[in-house]
A and B are shown apart, each in its own frame.
Chain A
């Protein structure tokens, strides 16, 4: 079955720790995206990548980093520099500006 997977579903982080959220797709999509969702707010773009080995900052990239070494994978690292990381994180992919396909999300909580 084609789709996007994210892991883990729930993640707990201690203050000062870096954590990495996984996102994998087997849809052969070129573009991949990371969004953050907070209660009462619309989704906000963290980073996106249109091609392997290239990525662009979104609206709220500070405190996050990404890599795109393979077409299928676009992991997101939440660094200790991100002061308020507790949120729901969604990964998505698309083919040439077409509809987005979303993963199931990772809920990150800082302890």
Chain B
């Protein structure tokens, strides 16, 4: 079993829909990252959080440490949001610099 599991693996939605991507992990963590990878391959860091909730524009990330679960929400989705969204965790046992990555959720927004 992978230490970081994302769901769904693939998600297709209509423009304007509210999107939720989930990430579950099995180890104690010190931080969780949400990343966005565009078709060309470049990766952008969206959020790093260790508790509660963060918001940036139409993106919202939440984390529940007790349940070992995080969600990434996109409001008023747009075709330019189409990308692979990756969850990664920094474990308390891994050392400060190592992240364990999920395999990503491929999101496609149809106009």
A residues at B contact (CB < 8 Å): 31, 33, 37, 40-45, 48, 50, 56, 58, 88, 90, 92, 97-105, 107
Given known pairs A102-B43, A105-B42, the reply for A97 and B86 (CB within 8 Å) is no
Q: Determine whether the beta carbon of B98 is less than 8 Å from that of A90.
A: no
Distance A44 CA – B2 CA, assembled complex (angstroms)? 13
Selected from B35, B97, B104, the residue in CB contact (under 8 A) with A33 is: B97
Given known pairs A33-B97, A42-B4, A42-B86, the reply for A102 and B104 (CB within 8 Å) is no
User: Residue-by-residue, is B73-103 near A (CB-CB < 8 Å gives 1, otherwise 0)?
Assistant: 0000000000000101010000011111111
The binding surface of chain B is classed by DSSP as: strand
Q: Which residues of B contact A42 (CB under 8 A)?
A: 2, 4, 86, 88, 100-104
Size category of the B interface is 20 to 34
Least CB distance from B61 to A in Å reads 12
B residues at A contact (CB < 8 Å): 2, 4, 31, 33, 35, 40-45, 48, 86, 88, 90, 96-104
Q: Determine whether the beta carbon of A107 is less than 8 Å from that of B41.
A: yes
Given known pairs A41-B103, A97-B97, A99-B33, the reply for A104 and B42 (CB within 8 Å) is yes
Least CB distance from A35 to B in Å reads 8
